[in-house]
């Protein structure tokens, strides 16, 4: 495969950076060259509104020197700049040594040697001409604008190709390419008296190419055909009556609840307090490992960087750790965390599980989320219809929207795109103004059933934020539909005072 620079440049950079780091006394060094191309196209009411095509390229060098970590990055790519970066990283490590609370050590890791890996895709979405991208979004917009009751349509696609070269002093040499794409269409209907409703597609972002928009992995034609009727029904739907309900939650909504209440809560750097200043800590502290009842016995959660078409899927992370799968919650009990090499060593874990990532060659890798997923029921498992059939009075929740969670990832509130009343085991029309509210352990502890593999979907986001300065990462979360009993539901319009 072709990398972010020519083979000769990559080899020269490796020799220069690792040689300079060793000469300056570094015990370990990693050099990373990346070329990240990001495209965004937005069509508003059938007209091109925004077009972005950005390419970032640069070099980052990280070292461990006398128990301290140092990093330096530059947009320059070449042997001389890389050697300078290695020396600057050593200087940074010397400077931070005065303030470090402990010596920085890396959990041991056997080098995977040379690795070449490409994510699963057919057509590079960043290579598709702008005219073709805008043309498809315009066709989708016109299709919805021609439907009764649809007043405005925004169609959007974001595409990323990320080429990474990584080499370290342990002998790892890795070339990796990740391709991902996220299309989204939102329709808005304006009624009399200033009332309005909006509804968007629930197709998840994926690690696929442009073929995704052609129907591989998602039926966009079918969803767009349903959207006007669903939007009209939502606008006419009665407001929800606040109170406890049994919820059947579709994976298009549940992935975000997993992300916020499990994914972030089980990042070990957060759990030991390293994220306190910016994005909060976690209630799932290390003393809870092996004993905290996170949820009901049907709750099985894994982390991995191996999921097919997953947004966090790689062959090796930015510390040269091979991708792997690991348990986080087993039978409802907290049994694991997401780790990078330094946090694994500091907290007594024998090995990292490959969760180090930087969103730019100019940023230092930090501990980031893997693909964190709730496993479906073994065997065939219940269908969505069977889960709904077990509910007397409840709500079926589809699609994500707004969310809120406290600094310890414990008290939360989520809304959605579509809400359907359930009466005596059957859907009974849409509802409006719905939000569900709970604490993390109460919510997952009330999960009575998880759907089978036929209900399983991999959702996710391009924009998970963490760190100071903030870094943004793409991550996926697979899950089935679930049945959760007795969840508190709010009427958002009443809560807002309208």
Q: Which is nearest to 204 in space by CA: 177, 229, 181?
A: 181
Structure-token pair, residue 423: 């009466």
Query: At which residue do the structure tokens 């890798």 appear?
Result: 365
Residue 263 main-chain phi, psi, to 5 deg: -55, -55
Number of other CB atoms surrounding residue 454 within 10 Å: 13
Look at residue 276 in the predicted model and tell me its pLDDT: 83
Query: What Cα–Cα distance (Å) separates residue 202 from each residue in 252, 361, 488?
Result: 6, 32, 24
Please tell me the distance from the alpha carbon of residue 292 to that of residue 271, in angstroms, as a whole number.
13
Look at residue 50 in the predicted model and tell me its pLDDT: 97
Q: pTM score > 0.75 for this model?
A: yes
Q: Which is nearest to 314 in space by CA: 476, 126, 124?
A: 476
Q: How large is the greatest C-alpha to C-alpha distance in the chain, in angstroms?
A: 74
Number of other CB atoms surrounding residue 55 within 10 Å: 11
The whole-number mean pLDDT for each consecutive block of 10 residues of the chain, a chain of 498 residues, reads 93 98 98 98 97 98 97 98 98 93 94 97 98 98 95 98 98 98 97 87 98 97 97 96 98 98 97 84 97 98 97 98 98 98 96 98 97 96 98 98 95 97 98 98 98 98 92 97 98 84
Q: Which is nearest to 62 in space by CA: 345, 467, 365?
A: 365
Report the SS3 class of residue 60: strand
Q: Which is nearest to 174 in space by CA: 129, 113, 222, 223?
A: 113
Look at residue 498 in the predicted model and tell me its pLDDT: 66
Q: Which residues contact 21 (CB under 8 A, 6 or more apart)?
A: 29, 61, 63, 86, 87, 89, 90, 169
Please tell me the distance from the alpha carbon of residue 34 to that of residue 137, in angstroms, as a whole number.
30
Structure-token pair, residue 4: 């972010």
Query: What Cα–Cα distance (Å) separates residue 367 from each residue in 11, 90, 379, 453, 478?
Result: 28, 21, 34, 30, 20
Look at residue 389 in the predicted model and tell me its pLDDT: 98
Please tell me the distance from the alpha carbon of residue 180 to that of residue 211, in angstroms, as a whole number.
11
Domains of the chain: which residue ranges? Answer: 7-236, 243-495
Rg (CA), the chain: 24
Please tell me the distance from the alpha carbon of residue 266 to that of residue 417, in angstroms, as a whole number.
27
DSSP annotation of 323: P
Please tell me the distance from the alpha carbon of residue 20 to that of residue 90, in angstroms, as a whole number.
10
Q: Are strands 173-190 and 114-118 parallel, antiparallel or unpaired?
A: parallel
Look at residue 372 in the predicted model and tell me its pLDDT: 98
Look at residue 71 in the predicted model and tell me its pLDDT: 98
Query: At which residue do the structure tokens 């352990």 appear?
Result: 441
- CB contact burial 340-366 (16+ within 10 A = b; e otherwise): bbbbbbbbebebbbbbbbbbbbbbbbb
DSSP 90-155: HHHHHHHTTT-SS-----------EEEEE-S-SS-GGGS-HHHHHHHHHHHHHHHHTSTT--EEEE
- Report the CATH fold assignment for 7-236: PmbA/TldD fold (3.30.2290)
């Amino acid at each position: 495969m072709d990398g972010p620079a020519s083979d000769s440049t990559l080899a020269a950079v490796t020799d220069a950076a690792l040689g300079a780091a060793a000469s300056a006394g570094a015990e370990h060094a990693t050099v990373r060259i990346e070329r990240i191309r990001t495209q965004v196209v937005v069509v508003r009411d059938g007209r091109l509104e925004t077009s972005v095509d950005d390419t970032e390229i640069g070099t980052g060098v990280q070292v461990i020197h006398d128990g301290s970590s140092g990093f330096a990055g530059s947009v320059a790519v070449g042997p001389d700049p890389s050697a300078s970066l290695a020396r600057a990283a050593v200087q940074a490590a010397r400077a931070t040594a005065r303030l470090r609370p402990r010596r920085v050590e890396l959990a041991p890791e056997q080098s995977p040697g040379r690795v070449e890996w490409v994510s699963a895709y057919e057509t590079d979405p960043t290579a598709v001409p702008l005219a073709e991208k805008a043309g498809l979004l315009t066709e989708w917009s016109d299709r919805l604008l021609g439907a009764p009751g649809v007043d405005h349509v925004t169609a959007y696609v974001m595409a990323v190709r990320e080429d990474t070269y990584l080499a370290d002093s342990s002998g790892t040499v890795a070339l990796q390419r990740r391709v991902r794409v996220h299309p989204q269409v939102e329709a808005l209907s304006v009624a009399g008296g200033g009332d309005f409703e909006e509804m968007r597609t629930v197709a998840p972002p994926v690690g696929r190419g442009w073929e995704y928009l052609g129907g591989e992995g998602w039926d966009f034609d079918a969803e767009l055909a349903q959207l006007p009727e669903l939007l009209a029904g939502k606008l006419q739907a009665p407001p929800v009556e606040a109170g406890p309900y049994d919820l059947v939650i579709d994976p298009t909504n549940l992935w975000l609840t997993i992300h916020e209440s499990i994914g972030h809560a089980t990042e070990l750097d957060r759990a030991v307090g390293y994220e306190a200043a910016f994005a909060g800590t976690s209630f799932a502290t290390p003393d809870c490992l092996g004993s905290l009842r996170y949820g009901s016995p049907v709750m099985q959660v894994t982390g991995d960087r191996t999921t097919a078409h997953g947004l966090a899927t790689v062959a090796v992370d930015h510390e040269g750790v091979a991708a792997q799968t690991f348990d986080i919650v087993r039978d409802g009990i907290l049994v694991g965390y997401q780790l990078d090499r330094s946090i694994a060593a500091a907290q007594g874990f024998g090995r990292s599980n490959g969760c180090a990532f930087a969103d730019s060659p100019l940023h230092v890798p930090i501990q980031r989320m893997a693909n964190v997923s709730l496993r479906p029921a073994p065997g065939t498992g219940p269908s969505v219809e069977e889960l709904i059939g077990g509910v007397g009075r409840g709500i079926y929740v589809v699609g994500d929207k707004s969310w809120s969670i406290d600094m310890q990832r414990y008290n939360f509130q989520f809304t959605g795109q579509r809400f359907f009343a359930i009466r005596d085991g059957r859907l009974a029309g849409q509802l409006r103004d719905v939000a569900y509210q709970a604490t993390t352990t109460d919510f997952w502890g009330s999960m009575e059933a998880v759907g089978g593999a036929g209900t399983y979907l991999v959702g996710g986001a391009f924009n998970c934020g963490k760190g100071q300065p903030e870094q943004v990462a793409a991550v996926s979360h697979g899950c089935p539909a679930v049945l959760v009993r007795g969840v508190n539901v709010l009427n958002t319009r009443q809560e807002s005072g309208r």
